[in-house]
Protein backbone atom coordinates (compact mmCIF):
# COMPACT_ATOMS: atom_id res chain seq x y z
CA UNK A 1 0.00 0.00 0.00
CA UNK A 2 0.95 3.66 0.02
CA UNK A 3 2.20 3.31 3.58
CA UNK A 4 4.92 0.89 2.38
CA UNK A 5 6.63 -1.56 4.71
CA UNK A 6 7.14 0.90 7.56
CA UNK A 7 5.74 -0.47 10.82
CA UNK A 8 7.66 1.62 13.33
CA UNK A 9 10.56 3.92 14.08
CA UNK A 10 13.16 1.27 13.37
CA UNK A 11 12.01 0.99 9.76
CA UNK A 12 12.73 4.69 9.21
CA UNK A 13 16.17 6.08 8.37
CA UNK A 14 16.47 7.74 11.82
CA UNK A 15 19.90 8.75 13.12
CA UNK A 16 21.89 5.81 14.54
CA UNK A 17 22.03 7.29 18.04
CA UNK A 18 18.21 7.38 18.22
CA UNK A 19 17.71 3.72 17.27
CA UNK A 20 16.03 1.61 19.94
CA UNK A 21 15.63 4.57 22.30
CA UNK A 22 12.47 5.73 24.13
CA UNK A 23 11.24 9.30 24.58
CA UNK A 24 11.18 11.03 28.00
CA UNK A 25 8.15 9.47 29.60
CA UNK A 26 6.99 10.37 33.07
CA UNK A 27 3.54 8.68 33.09
CA UNK A 28 0.67 11.20 32.90
CA UNK A 29 -1.94 9.08 34.71
CA UNK A 30 -5.35 10.27 35.84
CA UNK A 31 -5.16 9.47 39.56
CA UNK A 32 -6.40 11.49 42.55
CA UNK A 33 -2.95 12.41 43.93
CA UNK A 34 -0.19 13.19 41.42
CA UNK A 35 3.17 13.70 43.11
CA UNK A 36 5.43 12.50 40.30
CA UNK A 37 6.75 15.44 38.27
CA UNK A 38 7.77 18.02 40.89
CA UNK A 39 5.03 20.40 39.87
CA UNK A 40 3.66 23.03 42.21
CA UNK A 41 0.28 21.67 43.45
CA UNK A 42 -1.36 25.08 43.82
CA UNK A 43 -3.38 26.42 40.89
CA UNK A 44 -2.58 30.03 40.02
CA UNK A 45 -4.50 32.56 42.18
CA UNK A 46 -7.55 34.24 40.61
CA UNK A 47 -5.97 37.70 40.51
CA UNK A 48 -3.09 36.31 38.46
CA UNK A 49 -5.40 34.37 36.16
CA UNK A 50 -7.22 37.67 35.48
CA UNK A 51 -3.95 39.50 34.85
CA UNK A 52 -2.83 36.77 32.42
CA UNK A 53 -6.14 37.09 30.56
CA UNK A 54 -5.65 40.86 30.32
CA UNK A 55 -2.07 40.64 29.11
CA UNK A 56 -2.88 37.87 26.64
CA UNK A 57 -5.91 39.79 25.31
CA UNK A 58 -3.63 42.73 24.60
CA UNK A 59 -1.03 40.46 22.95
CA UNK A 60 -3.77 38.80 20.87
CA UNK A 61 -4.48 42.06 19.07
CA UNK A 62 -0.95 41.96 17.66
CA UNK A 63 -0.66 38.28 16.79
CA UNK A 64 -0.59 39.25 13.10
CA UNK A 65 3.00 40.36 13.87
CA UNK A 66 5.93 38.25 15.04
CA UNK A 67 6.70 38.61 18.75
CA UNK A 68 9.63 40.56 20.18
CA UNK A 69 12.44 38.28 19.01
CA UNK A 70 14.70 39.37 21.86
CA UNK A 71 11.97 39.26 24.55
CA UNK A 72 13.41 42.47 25.97
CA UNK A 73 10.66 43.32 28.48
CA UNK A 74 10.53 39.75 29.78
CA UNK A 75 14.31 39.37 30.13
CA UNK A 76 14.46 42.73 31.90
CA UNK A 77 11.82 41.56 34.41
CA UNK A 78 13.57 38.20 34.89
CA UNK A 79 16.83 40.08 35.53
CA UNK A 80 15.04 42.20 38.16
CA UNK A 81 13.69 39.03 39.82
CA UNK A 82 17.18 37.51 39.95
CA UNK A 83 18.67 40.74 41.30
CA UNK A 84 15.98 41.03 43.99
CA UNK A 85 16.25 37.42 45.15
CA UNK A 86 20.03 36.89 44.98
CA UNK A 87 21.35 40.36 45.78
CA UNK A 88 23.59 40.04 42.73
CA UNK A 89 22.85 42.65 40.09
CA UNK A 90 22.08 41.21 36.67
CA UNK A 91 20.54 42.99 33.71
CA UNK A 92 18.97 42.32 30.33
CA UNK A 93 22.32 41.53 28.69
CA UNK A 94 23.05 38.75 31.23
CA UNK A 95 19.71 36.95 30.85
CA UNK A 96 18.25 34.73 28.14
CA UNK A 97 14.85 33.02 28.04
CA UNK A 98 13.33 30.09 26.15
CA UNK A 99 10.44 27.59 26.23
CA UNK A 100 11.30 25.87 29.49
CA UNK A 101 14.78 25.32 30.84
CA UNK A 102 14.85 22.19 28.67
CA UNK A 103 15.02 24.49 25.65
CA UNK A 104 17.62 26.67 27.38
CA UNK A 105 19.73 23.54 27.88
CA UNK A 106 19.14 22.45 24.30
CA UNK A 107 20.30 25.82 23.00
CA UNK A 108 23.39 25.63 25.23
CA UNK A 109 24.27 22.17 23.90
CA UNK A 110 23.62 23.26 20.30
CA UNK A 111 26.03 26.12 20.93
CA UNK A 112 28.73 24.50 23.05
CA UNK A 113 28.24 20.76 22.42
CA UNK A 114 27.29 18.98 19.20
CA UNK A 115 28.99 16.36 17.01
CA UNK A 116 32.53 15.58 18.08
CA UNK A 117 31.98 17.16 21.50
CA UNK A 118 30.95 15.72 24.86
CA UNK A 119 29.04 16.70 27.99
CA UNK A 120 29.27 15.16 31.47
CA UNK A 121 26.72 14.95 34.30
CA UNK A 122 27.11 13.34 37.72
CA UNK A 123 24.49 10.62 37.84
CA UNK A 124 21.88 9.89 38.96
CA UNK A 125 20.77 13.35 37.92
CA UNK A 126 18.19 15.00 35.66
CA UNK A 127 17.76 12.47 32.86
CA UNK A 128 16.98 15.10 30.21
CA UNK A 129 20.56 16.36 30.27
CA UNK A 130 21.67 13.08 28.66
CA UNK A 131 18.64 12.99 26.33
CA UNK A 132 19.17 16.56 25.10
CA UNK A 133 22.84 15.71 24.59
CA UNK A 134 21.79 12.81 22.39
CA UNK A 135 19.31 14.95 20.48
CA UNK A 136 22.00 17.53 19.75
CA UNK A 137 24.59 14.93 18.72
CA UNK A 138 26.66 15.61 21.84
CA UNK A 139 28.46 12.61 23.34
CA UNK A 140 27.34 11.85 26.90
CA UNK A 141 29.60 10.91 29.79
CA UNK A 142 28.06 9.54 32.97
CA UNK A 143 30.11 11.02 35.82
CA UNK A 144 30.22 9.44 39.28
CA UNK A 145 28.39 10.10 42.54
CA UNK A 146 28.89 8.50 45.93
CA UNK A 147 26.34 5.92 47.19
CA UNK A 148 24.89 8.70 49.37
CA UNK A 149 24.37 10.73 46.15
CA UNK A 150 26.87 13.48 47.01
CA UNK A 151 29.49 14.41 44.40
CA UNK A 152 32.85 12.78 45.07
CA UNK A 153 35.14 15.69 44.13
CA UNK A 154 38.40 13.76 43.55
CA UNK A 155 36.51 11.18 41.43
CA UNK A 156 34.74 13.97 39.51
CA UNK A 157 38.06 15.72 38.88
CA UNK A 158 39.55 12.49 37.58
CA UNK A 159 36.58 12.11 35.20
CA UNK A 160 37.11 15.66 33.90
CA UNK A 161 40.82 15.02 33.32
CA UNK A 162 40.14 11.68 31.64
CA UNK A 163 37.21 12.63 29.38
CA UNK A 164 37.97 16.34 28.73
CA UNK A 165 34.26 17.21 28.26
CA UNK A 166 33.19 20.43 26.56
CA UNK A 167 30.19 20.93 28.86
CA UNK A 168 29.73 20.06 32.54
CA UNK A 169 26.28 19.82 34.15
CA UNK A 170 25.91 20.43 37.88
CA UNK A 171 22.30 20.12 39.06
CA UNK A 172 21.77 21.78 42.42
CA UNK A 173 19.50 20.95 44.14
CA UNK A 174 19.90 17.68 42.28
CA UNK A 175 16.96 15.87 40.70
CA UNK A 176 15.94 13.13 41.58
CA UNK A 177 17.95 12.93 44.81
CA UNK A 178 17.06 16.39 46.23
CA UNK A 179 20.44 17.26 47.73
CA UNK A 180 22.23 20.54 46.95
CA UNK A 181 25.85 20.64 45.78
CA UNK A 182 28.03 22.76 48.09
CA UNK A 183 29.29 26.04 46.65
CA UNK A 184 32.93 24.99 47.19
CA UNK A 185 32.34 21.82 45.15
CA UNK A 186 30.90 23.83 42.25
CA UNK A 187 33.84 26.24 42.39
CA UNK A 188 36.33 23.37 42.50
CA UNK A 189 34.64 21.65 39.53
CA UNK A 190 34.63 24.89 37.55
CA UNK A 191 38.35 25.40 38.16
CA UNK A 192 39.19 21.75 37.51
CA UNK A 193 37.31 21.83 34.19
CA UNK A 194 38.99 25.08 33.06
CA UNK A 195 42.39 23.63 33.98
CA UNK A 196 41.86 20.94 31.32
CA UNK A 197 40.50 23.23 28.59
CA UNK A 198 37.89 26.02 28.20
CA UNK A 199 34.69 24.26 29.34
CA UNK A 200 31.14 25.53 29.81
CA UNK A 201 29.76 24.68 33.26
CA UNK A 202 25.96 24.69 33.46
CA UNK A 203 24.57 24.97 36.96
CA UNK A 204 20.97 23.78 36.72
CA UNK A 205 19.10 25.59 39.50
CA UNK A 206 15.57 24.54 38.53
CA UNK A 207 14.72 23.97 42.22
CA UNK A 208 16.87 26.61 43.90
CA UNK A 209 13.95 28.60 45.34
CA UNK A 210 13.18 25.59 47.58
CA UNK A 211 16.75 25.34 48.86
CA UNK A 212 17.93 25.99 52.42
CA UNK A 213 21.01 27.63 50.87
CA UNK A 214 21.63 30.50 48.49
CA UNK A 215 21.66 30.58 44.70
CA UNK A 216 25.06 30.23 43.05
CA UNK A 217 24.15 32.98 40.58
CA UNK A 218 26.73 35.44 42.00
CA UNK A 219 29.44 33.04 40.80
CA UNK A 220 28.87 34.14 37.19
CA UNK A 221 30.84 37.29 38.09
CA UNK A 222 34.30 36.89 36.54
CA UNK A 223 33.48 33.35 35.32
CA UNK A 224 32.46 33.67 31.65
CA UNK A 225 32.13 29.89 31.28
CA UNK A 226 29.58 29.53 34.09
CA UNK A 227 25.87 29.47 33.23
CA UNK A 228 23.03 29.32 35.77
CA UNK A 229 19.81 27.92 34.37
CA UNK A 230 16.40 28.54 35.98
CA UNK A 231 12.73 27.85 35.32
CA UNK A 232 9.27 29.20 36.09
CA UNK A 233 7.96 25.60 36.12
CA UNK A 234 8.57 24.93 39.81
CA UNK A 235 8.72 27.90 42.22
CA UNK A 236 6.42 30.03 40.06
CA UNK A 237 3.95 27.17 39.77
CA UNK A 238 3.83 27.61 36.00
CA UNK A 239 4.96 24.31 34.45
CA UNK A 240 2.28 24.70 31.79
CA UNK A 241 3.66 28.08 30.73
CA UNK A 242 6.98 26.67 29.46
CA UNK A 243 9.37 29.40 30.46
CA UNK A 244 12.99 28.81 31.38
CA UNK A 245 15.88 31.23 31.52
CA UNK A 246 19.58 31.54 32.16
CA UNK A 247 21.98 34.06 33.62
CA UNK A 248 25.55 34.24 32.37
CA UNK A 249 28.15 36.55 30.85
CA UNK A 250 26.60 38.64 28.03
CA UNK A 251 28.84 36.81 25.53
CA UNK A 252 27.02 33.55 26.40
CA UNK A 253 23.69 35.27 25.78
CA UNK A 254 24.99 36.43 22.40
CA UNK A 255 26.28 32.93 21.60
CA UNK A 256 22.99 31.09 22.19
CA UNK A 257 21.32 33.49 19.76
CA UNK A 258 23.33 31.79 17.02
CA UNK A 259 21.15 28.68 17.43
CA UNK A 260 17.79 29.91 18.75
CA UNK A 261 14.97 29.80 16.25
CA UNK A 262 13.77 33.27 15.31
CA UNK A 263 10.71 34.27 17.38
CA UNK A 264 11.04 31.14 19.52
CA UNK A 265 9.12 32.69 22.44
CA UNK A 266 5.55 33.35 21.38
CA UNK A 267 3.86 36.66 22.21
CA UNK A 268 1.37 34.67 24.32
CA UNK A 269 4.18 33.07 26.31
CA UNK A 270 5.91 36.40 26.87
CA UNK A 271 2.66 38.06 27.99
CA UNK A 272 1.81 35.21 30.37
CA UNK A 273 5.27 35.12 31.91
CA UNK A 274 5.21 38.90 32.44
CA UNK A 275 1.86 38.61 34.21
CA UNK A 276 3.22 35.83 36.46
CA UNK A 277 6.27 37.95 37.32
CA UNK A 278 3.96 40.76 38.47
CA UNK A 279 2.69 38.27 41.09
CA UNK A 280 6.10 37.03 42.22
CA UNK A 281 5.42 37.74 45.91
CA UNK A 282 2.21 35.68 46.02
CA UNK A 283 3.81 32.82 44.11
CA UNK A 284 6.89 32.75 46.32
CA UNK A 285 4.51 32.55 49.30
CA UNK A 286 3.54 29.08 48.09
CA UNK A 287 7.23 28.19 48.02
CA UNK A 288 7.47 28.75 51.78
CA UNK A 289 4.45 26.50 52.31
CA UNK A 290 5.95 23.80 50.07
CA UNK A 291 9.29 23.98 51.86
CA UNK A 292 7.62 23.30 55.19
CA UNK A 293 5.60 20.44 53.64
CA UNK A 294 8.84 19.06 52.18
CA UNK A 295 10.44 19.17 55.64
CA UNK A 296 7.36 17.41 57.07
CA UNK A 297 7.64 14.67 54.41
CA UNK A 298 11.30 14.12 55.31
CA UNK A 299 10.53 13.92 59.04
CA UNK A 300 7.47 11.66 58.70
CA UNK A 301 9.11 9.30 56.20
CA UNK A 302 12.00 8.88 58.65
CA UNK A 303 9.57 8.33 61.54
CA UNK A 304 7.85 5.59 59.53
CA UNK A 305 11.23 3.94 59.04
CA UNK A 306 12.25 4.92 55.51
CA UNK A 307 15.62 6.21 54.45
CA UNK A 308 15.48 9.73 53.02
CA UNK A 309 18.05 11.85 51.20
CA UNK A 310 18.33 15.33 52.74
CA UNK A 311 16.26 17.57 50.43
CA UNK A 312 16.77 21.14 49.24
CA UNK A 313 14.08 20.75 46.58
CA UNK A 314 10.28 20.40 46.41
CA UNK A 315 10.58 16.62 46.38
CA UNK A 316 12.07 13.86 48.47
CA UNK A 317 13.87 10.67 47.47
CA UNK A 318 13.03 7.81 49.81
CA UNK A 319 13.68 4.08 50.16
CA UNK A 320 14.93 1.51 50.52
CA UNK A 321 12.82 -0.93 48.60
CA UNK A 322 15.09 -3.91 48.25
CA UNK A 323 12.46 -6.62 48.81
CA UNK A 324 10.66 -8.58 46.10
CA UNK A 325 9.97 -6.40 43.07
CA UNK A 326 12.08 -3.57 44.46
CA UNK A 327 11.08 0.03 43.90
CA UNK A 328 8.82 -0.77 40.95
CA UNK A 329 6.62 -3.06 43.06
CA UNK A 330 6.48 -0.40 45.79
CA UNK A 331 5.58 2.24 43.16
CA UNK A 332 2.66 0.04 42.04
CA UNK A 333 1.43 -0.55 45.61
CA UNK A 334 1.44 3.22 46.23
CA UNK A 335 -0.38 3.77 42.93
CA UNK A 336 -2.99 1.19 44.01
CA UNK A 337 -3.81 3.62 46.81
CA UNK A 338 -4.38 6.45 44.34
CA UNK A 339 -1.01 8.15 44.74
CA UNK A 340 1.36 8.57 41.79
CA UNK A 341 5.03 8.94 42.74
CA UNK A 342 8.10 8.61 40.53
CA UNK A 343 10.25 5.58 39.84
CA UNK A 344 13.39 7.00 38.29
CA UNK A 345 14.94 3.59 37.84
CA UNK A 346 17.34 4.05 40.75
CA UNK A 347 17.29 0.63 42.41
CA UNK A 348 15.71 0.80 45.85
CA UNK A 349 14.52 4.39 45.70
CA UNK A 350 11.39 6.36 44.77
CA UNK A 351 10.77 10.10 44.57
CA UNK A 352 7.75 12.03 45.83
CA UNK A 353 6.97 15.69 45.09
CA UNK A 354 5.67 17.88 47.91
CA UNK A 355 1.97 18.46 47.30
CA UNK A 356 -0.76 20.15 49.30
CA UNK A 357 -1.01 19.07 52.97
CA UNK A 358 -3.97 16.80 52.07
CA UNK A 359 -2.08 15.19 49.17
CA UNK A 360 0.95 14.63 51.38
CA UNK A 361 -1.26 13.05 54.03
CA UNK A 362 -2.68 10.67 51.43
CA UNK A 363 0.85 9.78 50.36
CA UNK A 364 2.04 9.27 53.95
CA UNK A 365 -0.96 7.01 54.69
CA UNK A 366 -0.11 4.94 51.62
CA UNK A 367 3.55 4.47 52.52
CA UNK A 368 2.70 3.80 56.17
CA UNK A 369 0.50 0.90 55.05
CA UNK A 370 3.18 -0.26 52.63
CA UNK A 371 5.70 -0.34 55.47
CA UNK A 372 3.34 -2.52 57.55
CA UNK A 373 2.88 -4.91 54.62
CA UNK A 374 6.60 -5.17 54.02
CA UNK A 375 7.74 -5.68 57.64
N1 LIG B 1 16.17 20.96 35.20
C2 LIG B 1 15.78 20.11 36.14
C3 LIG B 1 16.78 19.67 37.16
C4 LIG B 1 14.47 19.62 36.16
O5 LIG B 1 14.10 18.73 37.08
C6 LIG B 1 13.56 20.06 35.17
C7 LIG B 1 12.12 19.59 35.12
N8 LIG B 1 11.78 18.42 35.68
C9 LIG B 1 14.02 20.93 34.20
C10 LIG B 1 15.33 21.38 34.25
C11 LIG B 1 13.18 21.37 33.04
O12 LIG B 1 12.11 22.09 33.39
P13 LIG B 1 11.35 23.05 32.39
O14 LIG B 1 11.73 22.68 30.98
O15 LIG B 1 9.94 22.84 32.71
O16 LIG B 1 11.86 24.43 32.74
Q: Is 177 in the pocket of ligand 1 (CB under 6 A)?
A: no
Q: Is 244 in the pocket of ligand 1 (CB under 6 A)?
A: yes
Q: Which pLDDT score, from 0 to 100, does residue 75 have?
A: 98
Cis peptide before 176 (omega within 30 of 0): yes
Q: At what angle do helices 127-135 and 100-112 cross, to 10 degrees?
A: 50
- Residue after which a domain boundary falls, among 259, 278, 297: 278
Q: How far is the CA of 62 from the centre of ligand 1 (A)?
A: 30
Q: Which pLDDT score, from 0 to 100, does residue 56 have?
A: 98
- 159 and 295 share one domain: no
Q: Is 36 in the pocket of ligand 1 (CB under 6 A)?
A: no
Q: Which pLDDT score, from 0 to 100, does residue 343 have?
A: 95
Q: Which CATH number characterizes residue 146's domain?
A: 3.40.640.10
Q: Is residue 244 part of a domain?
A: yes
Q: Is 314 in the pocket of ligand 1 (CB under 6 A)?
A: no
Task: Tell me the pTM.
Answer: 0.95
Q: How far is the CA of 203 from the centre of ligand 1 (A)?
A: 12
Q: What residues in the chain have per-residue pLDDT under 50?
A: 1
- 292 and 204 share one domain: no
Contact indicator for 253, 229 with CB cutoff of 8 Å: no
Q: Is residue 6 part of a domain?
A: no
The set of residues, in sequence order, having a beta carbon less than 8 Å from that of 95 and lying 6+ positions away, is 75, 78, 79, 82, 245, 246, 247, 253
- Residue after which a domain boundary falls, among 247, 278, 309: 278
- 188 and 66 share one domain: yes
- 129 and 224 share one domain: yes
Q: Which pLDDT score, from 0 to 100, does residue 2 have?
A: 58
- 286 and 358 share one domain: yes
Q: Which pLDDT score, from 0 to 100, does residue 118 have?
A: 98
ipTM: 0.99
Task: Find the domain containing 322 and state its range.
Answer: 27-44+282-374
Q: Which pLDDT score, from 0 to 100, does residue 216 have?
A: 98
- 81 and 204 share one domain: yes
The set of residues, in sequence order, having a beta carbon less than 8 Å from that of 286 and lying 6+ positions away, is 40, 42, 237
Ligand 1 pocket test, candidate residues 39, 101, 123, 131, most atoms within 8 A of CB: 101
Domain count within the chain: 2
Amino acid sequence: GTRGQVTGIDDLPVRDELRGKSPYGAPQLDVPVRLNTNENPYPLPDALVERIAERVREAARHLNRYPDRDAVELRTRLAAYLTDTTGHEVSLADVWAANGSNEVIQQLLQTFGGPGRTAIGFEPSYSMHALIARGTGTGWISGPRRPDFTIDLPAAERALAEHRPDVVFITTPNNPTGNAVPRETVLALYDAAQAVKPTMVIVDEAYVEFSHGASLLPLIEGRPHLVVSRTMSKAFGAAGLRLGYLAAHPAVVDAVQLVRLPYHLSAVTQATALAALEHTDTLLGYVEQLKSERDRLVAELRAIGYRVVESDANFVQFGLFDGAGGSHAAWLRILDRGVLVRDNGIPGWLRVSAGTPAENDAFLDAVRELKKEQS
